[in-house]
């Protein structure tokens, strides 16, 4: 094949006029200097930029060239420039000249690796091809030159297998089947026991397989191999697992990957060769120790794939002390050069060390904090930089248990949404009642509650469960929200799992699980794992964490409050640094077993009198709740929201009643129970709403039934008065939910002020209090100035505000959200990450209008976004006073707030921008 036209896509355009070449597609590196450098990640990808940087830094890097990301984008658009071909050939010739070899040709054939490398690391997500250049003649040359025919044939069969899989789309299994067949025929246990003959036989079979599957021979032309491999890497940017990874990690689908073509070095040339990976510090703990693994006489994939168990890198010191010292020296220089912990790959070929790759190492949250602190101590980075070395979400690691996976063979049954982080290992049950039963009678030590979706009625079961698994519902479904509040692991919306709550059965991956079977949940990744793994416990008093959060808190401006309803959660929140309660949901108190009947009586009441009678029974209970909470919070502010949810949430489900009645009528038409059921049904029907989210809830309850607001205000002020009498100094903020305009606010605030006046006179003391409102409807944002004329604070309820701004119910969006994310219509779930363009505009409008009417208006946010880093940063920039989030999100929110404050400063302080302030 002529070198001039390599690619059919290019061939089509051969006739077109060439335009002025403005883009450099191919960047060479080698012989101590590179076309690119480490800052060019956009162009060269992380790996390509790293190779350039390492080359420039004089590290022993095998030479090669990088095809830049623009080529990938052109490939996606179906318009690959023909200029790439010229540049590739030029670079290849340069490489051949430098190495004194020809690709796949001659006595000493050049072999290359072809690897992906995007701007952001996506480990294992895209494809790689090694040993490229080998063919029927080159393999013989290699065998001859290396004096190791076994290595040569093994390299060739590996190439055919990878090329077959990645480029030609032939199922991996078919290759494995041939390989295992020969092994079985030769009765050997390990791959390396196969001799050259066997490998040659395998090669022959592999080639037959390729012919059979594709109708064509395995390509012998190394250039055809190279172009095909390049395009396969481009294609692998678009494979499903890569897309999923990007979605989860919020990586733009249009970035594309670069392709790195690099001369092969071999760790499998014999017992004097080897390969390994390592970190400059321990990526699990952050400990400052040289950390890694290696294998002698092996290629990189052997280390990564886990087929052979590698040796700890410390053993290399004994085996090859000189290489070990050189590696330590190089990596030490690398860490200083990059000013961060490095993750590197190396190969030893005939006793000579090559550095294949280096990049900032991924690490756990625990390690991230430890490394950041150590590096500040070592003078490598400033405190401000340290603050950016930890991803806010990584701080979860300090608060939740983790699964221990090392050395265990795990079976992932399915992956749902990582709804609430942490890990849970336990026996499954299919109803809240069973959860409580088995937990209480001690039959199951740890319970995992498995449900289609959870409802407020499941609370008791959720309380005792170690973890929750649901097949429906998104990141802000009931299960997700409640478990995050509890700091409990939850995997939600696991659509692969078919759950039959009646039969107490879950089906997934063709397996059936029954009550009592063991599952392990990873709420951080969403994985559902078969069987019983071990867990690592929580470590919130970690001294590193305390030091780190000290730096964080010195720098943030936003206050961070917690959403908590009961003293236990409030105490937890204070331990995690809450500066108050930003949202106490009073309705959660009504779901308790001893209260629900009174709540139901209140709802079923036909007259105001009956309603008041039921409310009178609830009053002392609410008062006691508030007293506990206020006492626990001392003089910190406590924001209490009045009753919010639709009333039918407290009643039996309409469908259940209908079915129950239909059954009874068919079987026991004279049952006296029927009358009672009909009575309940009648009221349930009256309360039935087609769109409960948009119906009788929030302040609409208090306006329709003012006696409810009266009761709640009494409970609140009487509790506050009692706490104050006992010597404390409570700071109350009463929040009216779901306000659409000033009229609603005025009507409800009047009731609250009147009750406060009554109580204070009766008790002979006054308590500091404010009355404010949730801003959670677009209309409230538009008329915020008028609302602020009376309201003393705003708290954005961004869950509802997102719902109404988008017209999307967070409970129903799982029907189309996947399609939206897949098609890139939404970059991310707006219920997880605040939509700054739409919802954010309304927030800024409301904040500005509100402050225009009341200069000292206190403004916060208490929706789920209050603990999401990007959203917290937005709140900082929008000038909010505080964010309020689940206790388990407090650390994250604090860190994000500090990062936002520093990011803001950088705009004005050029010293900070370059990290030279200290």
Q: Of 413 and 777, which has the nearer Cβ to a copy of itself? A: 777
- Residues 623-652 within binding reach of a copy of itself (CB under 8 A): none
Q: Of 729 and 743, which has the nearer Cβ to a copy of itself? A: 743
Indicate which single residue of 6, 242, 428, 740 sits in contact with a copy of itself (rule: CB under 8 A): 740
- Residues 800-839 within binding reach of a copy of itself (CB under 8 A): 800, 803-809, 811-813, 815-816, 819-820, 823-826, 835, 837-839
The structure tokens 């709140």 sit at: 875
Indicate which single residue of 258, 469, 562, 777 sits in contact with a copy of itself (rule: CB under 8 A): 777
Are the C-beta atoms of 776 and 744 separated by less than 8 Å? Answer: no
Q: How far is the CB of 654 from a copy of itself (least distance, A)?
A: 7
User: How many Cβ atoms are within 10 Å of 917's Cβ, its own excluded?
Assistant: 15
Q: Of 168 and 853, which has the nearer Cβ to a copy of itself? A: 853
Indicate which single residue of 700, 763, 770, 906 sits in contact with a copy of itself (rule: CB under 8 A): 700
Q: How far is Cα 336 from Cα 463, in angstroms, rounded to an integer?
A: 48
Q: Of 108 and 836, which has the nearer Cβ to a copy of itself? A: 836
Decide if residue 744 touches a copy of itself (CB under 8 A). yes
Indicate which single residue of 85, 335, 776, 864 sits in contact with a copy of itself (rule: CB under 8 A): 776
Indicate which single residue of 665, 758, 785, 904 sits in contact with a copy of itself (rule: CB under 8 A): 665
Decide if residue 137 touches a copy of itself (CB under 8 A). no
Q: How far is Cα 534 from Cα 729, in angstroms, rounded to an integer?
A: 45
Q: Which stretch binds a copy of itself (CB under 8 A): 369-377, 560-568, 699-707, 901-909?
A: 699-707
| Burial class of residue 196 (count of CB atoms within 10 Å of its CB; 0-12, 13-18, 19+) | middle
Decide if residue 795 touches a copy of itself (CB under 8 A). no
Indicate which single residue of 17, 441, 691, 914 sits in contact with a copy of itself (rule: CB under 8 A): 691
Decide if residue 790 touches a copy of itself (CB under 8 A). no
CA atoms in the 13 A half-sphere facing the CB of 87: 20
762's CB contacts (< 8 A; 6+ apart) are none
Decide if residue 674 touches a copy of itself (CB under 8 A). no
Q: How far is Cα 602 from Cα 620, in angstroms, rounded to an integer?
A: 15
Q: Of 616 and 694, which has the nearer Cβ to a copy of itself? A: 694
Indicate which single residue of 659, 761, 765, 789 sits in contact with a copy of itself (rule: CB under 8 A): 659
718's CB contacts (< 8 A; 6+ apart) are 623, 759, 763
Decide if residue 704 touches a copy of itself (CB under 8 A). yes
862 classed as catalytic: yes
Indicate which single residue of 56, 841, 848, 905 sits in contact with a copy of itself (rule: CB under 8 A): 841
Of the candidates 348, 345, 352, the one whose C-alpha atom is nearest the C-alpha of residue 274 is 348
Of the candidates 531, 446, 532, the one whose C-alpha atom is nearest the C-alpha of residue 488 is 446
Q: How far is Cα 293 from Cα 279, in angstroms, rounded to an integer?
A: 9
Are the C-beta atoms of 438 and 549 separated by less than 8 Å? Answer: no
Q: How far is the CB of 228 from a copy of itself (least distance, A)?
A: 31
Q: Which two tokens stand for residue 132?
A: 């490229």
Q: Of 182 and 694, which has the nearer Cβ to a copy of itself? A: 694
Dihedral of alpha carbons 837, 838, 840, 846, sign? positive
3-state secondary structure 573-585: HHHCCCCCEEEEE
Q: Which stretch binds a copy of itself (CB under 8 A): 573-581, 604-612, 624-632, 796-804?
A: 796-804
Number of residues that bind a copy of itself (CB under 8 A): 58
632 classed as catalytic: no
Q: Which two tokens stand for residue 633?
A: 């919070």
Q: How far is the CB of 593 from a copy of itself (least distance, A)?
A: 25
Decide if residue 692 touches a copy of itself (CB under 8 A). yes
Decide if residue 710 touches a copy of itself (CB under 8 A). no
Element (H, E) at 88: helix 83-99
Please pick, among 862, 865, 875, 876, the residue that the annotation labels catalytic: 862
Of the candidates 534, 524, 271, the one whose C-alpha atom is nearest the C-alpha of residue 417 is 524
CA–centroid distance for 610 within its chain: 49
Are the C-beta atoms of 473 and 480 separated by less than 8 Å? Answer: yes
Q: How far is the CB of 689 from a copy of itself (least distance, A)?
A: 5
DSSP character for 588? Answer: G
Dihedral of alpha carbons 540, 543, 544, 548, sign? positive
Q: How far is the CB of 845 from a copy of itself (least distance, A)?
A: 9
Indicate which single residue of 182, 410, 696, 728 sits in contact with a copy of itself (rule: CB under 8 A): 696
Q: Of 126 and 735, which has the nearer Cβ to a copy of itself? A: 735
Decide if residue 899 touches a copy of itself (CB under 8 A). no
Decide if residue 785 touches a copy of itself (CB under 8 A). no
Reduce the DSSP state of residue 275 to 3 states and report it: strand
Please pick, among 478, 588, 714, 731, the residue that the annotation labels catalytic: 478
Decide if residue 425 touches a copy of itself (CB under 8 A). no
Q: Which two tokens stand for residue 558?
A: 């936003």
b/e map 474-497, b = 16+ CB within 10 Å:
bbbbbbbbbbbbbbbbbbbbbeeb
Decide if residue 694 touches a copy of itself (CB under 8 A). yes
Of the candidates 170, 159, 407, 201, the one whose C-alpha atom is nearest the C-alpha of residue 299 is 159
Q: Which two tokens stand for residue 142?
A: 């290699």
Q: Of 161 and 814, which has the nearer Cβ to a copy of itself? A: 814
The residues that are catalytic are 478, 862
Q: Which residues are at the interface with a copy of itself (CB under 8 A)? A: 654-655, 658-659, 662-663, 665-667, 687, 689-696, 700, 703-704, 738, 740-741, 743-744, 747, 776-779, 782-783, 800, 803-809, 811-813, 815-816, 819-820, 823-826, 835, 837-839, 841-842
């Amino acid at each position: 094949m002529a070198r001039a036209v390599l690619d059919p896509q290019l061939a089509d355009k051969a006739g077109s006029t060439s335009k002025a070449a403005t883009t450099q597609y191919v960047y060479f590196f080698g012989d101590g200097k590179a076309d690119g450098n480490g800052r060019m990640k956009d162009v060269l990808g992380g790996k390509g930029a790293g190779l350039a940087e390492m080359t420039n830094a004089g590290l022993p890097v095998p030479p090669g060239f990088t095809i830049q990301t623009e080529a990938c984008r052109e490939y996606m658009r179906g318009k690959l420039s023909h200029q790439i071909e010229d540049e590739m050939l030029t670079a290849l010739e340069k490489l051949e000249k430098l190495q004194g070899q020809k690709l796949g040709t001659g006595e000493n054939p050049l072999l290359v690796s072809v690897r992906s490398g995007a701007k952001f690391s996506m480990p294992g997500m895209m494809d790689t091809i090694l040993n490229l250049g080998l063919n029927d003649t080159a393999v013989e040359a290699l065998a001859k030159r290396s004096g190791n025919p076994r290595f040569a044939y093994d390299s060739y069969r590996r190439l055919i297998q990878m090329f077959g899989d990645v480029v030609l789309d032939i199922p991996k299994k078919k290759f494995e089947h041939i390989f295992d067949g020969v092994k079985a025929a030769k009765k050997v246990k390990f791959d390396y026991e196969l001799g050259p003959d066997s490998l040659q036989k395998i090669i022959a079979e592999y080639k037959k397989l390729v012919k059979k599957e594709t109708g064509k021979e395995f390509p012998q032309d190394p250039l055809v191999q190279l172009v095909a491999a390049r395009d396969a890497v481009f294609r692998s940017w678009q494979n499903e697992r890569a897309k999923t990874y990007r979605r989860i990690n919020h990586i733009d689908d249009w970035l594309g990957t670069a392709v790195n073509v690099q001369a092969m070095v071999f760790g499998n040339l014999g017992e004097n060769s080897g390969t390994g990976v390592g970190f400059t510090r321990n990526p699990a703990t952050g400990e400052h120790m040289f950390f890694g693994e290696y294998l002698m006489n092996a290629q990189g994939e052997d280390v990564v794939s886990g087929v052979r168990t590698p040796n700890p890198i410390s053993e290399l010191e004994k085996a090859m002390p000189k290489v070990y010292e050189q590696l330590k020296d190089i990596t030490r220089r690398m860490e200083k050069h990059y000013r961060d912990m490095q993750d590197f790959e190396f190969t030893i070929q005939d006793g000579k060390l090559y550095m294949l790759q280096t990049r900032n190492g991924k690490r756990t949250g625990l390690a991230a904090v430890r490394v950041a602190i150590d590096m500040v101590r070592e003078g490598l980075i400033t405190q401000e930089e340290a603050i950016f070395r930890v991803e806010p979400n990584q701080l979860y690691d300090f608060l939740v248990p983790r699964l221990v996976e090392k050395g265990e063979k795990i079976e992932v049954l399915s992956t749902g949404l990582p709804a609430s982080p942490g890990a849970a290992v336990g026996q499954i049950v299919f109803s809240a009642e069973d959860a409580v039963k088995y937990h209480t009678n001690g039959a199951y030590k740890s319970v995992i509650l498995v449900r289609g979706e959870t409802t407020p009625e499941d609370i008791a079961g959720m309380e005792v469960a170690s973890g929750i698994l649901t097949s429906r519902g998104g990141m802000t479904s009931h299960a997700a929200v409640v478990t995050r509040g509890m700091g409990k692991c939850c995997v939600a919306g696991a659509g692969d799992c078919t759950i039959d709550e009646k039969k107490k059965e879950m089906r997934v991956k063709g397996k059936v699980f029954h009550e009592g079977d063991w599952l392990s949940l990873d709420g951080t990744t969403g994985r559902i794992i078969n069987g019983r793994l071990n867990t690592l416990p929580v470590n919130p008093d970690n001294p590193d964490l305390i030091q780190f959060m000290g730096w964080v808190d010195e720098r943030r401006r936003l206050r961070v409050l917690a959403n908590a309803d009961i003293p236990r959660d409030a105490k937890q929140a204070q331990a995690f640094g809450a500066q108050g309660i930003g949202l106490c949901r009073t309705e959660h108190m009504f779901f308790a077993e001893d209260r629900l009947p009174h709540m139901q009586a209140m709802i079923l009441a036909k007259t105001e009198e009956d309603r008041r009678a039921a409310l009178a029974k609830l009053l002392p209970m609410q008062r006691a709740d508030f007293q506990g909470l206020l006492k626990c919070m001392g003089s910190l502010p406590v924001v209490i929201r009045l009753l919010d949810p639709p009333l039918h949430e407290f009643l039996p489900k309409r469908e259940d009643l209908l079915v129950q009645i239909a059954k009874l009528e068919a079987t026991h038409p004279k049952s006296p129970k029927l009358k009672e059921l009909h009575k309940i049904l009648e009221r349930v029907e009256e309360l039935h709403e087609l769109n409960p989210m948009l119906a009788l809830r929030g302040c609409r309850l208090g306006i329709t039934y003012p006696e409810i607001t009266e009761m709640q205000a009494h409970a609140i002020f009487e509790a506050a008065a009692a706490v104050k009498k006992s010597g404390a100094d409570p700071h109350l903020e009463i929040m009216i939910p779901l306000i659409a305009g000033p009229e609603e606010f005025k009507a409800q605030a009047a009731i609250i002020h009147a009750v406060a006046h009554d109580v204070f006179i009766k008790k002979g003391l006054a308590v500091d209090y404010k009355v404010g409102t949730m801003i959670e409807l677009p209309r409230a944002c538009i008329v915020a100035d008028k609302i602020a004329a009376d309201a003393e604070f705003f708290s954005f309820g961004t869950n509802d505000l997102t719902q109404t701004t988008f017209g999307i119910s967070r409970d129903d969006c799982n029907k189309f959200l996947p399609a939206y994310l897949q098609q890139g219509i939404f970059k991310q779930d707006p219920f997880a990450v605040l939509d700054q363009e739409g919802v954010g505009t309304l927030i800024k409008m409301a904040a500005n209008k509100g402050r225009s009417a009341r200069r000292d208006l206190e403004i916060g946010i208490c929706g789920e976004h209050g603990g999401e880093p990007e959203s917290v940063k937005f709140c900082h920039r929008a000038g909010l006073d505080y964010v309020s989030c689940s206790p388990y999100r407090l650390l994250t929110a604090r860190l994000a707030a500090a990062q936002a404050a520093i990011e803001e400063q950088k705009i004005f302080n050029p010293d900070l921008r370059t990290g030279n302030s200290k």
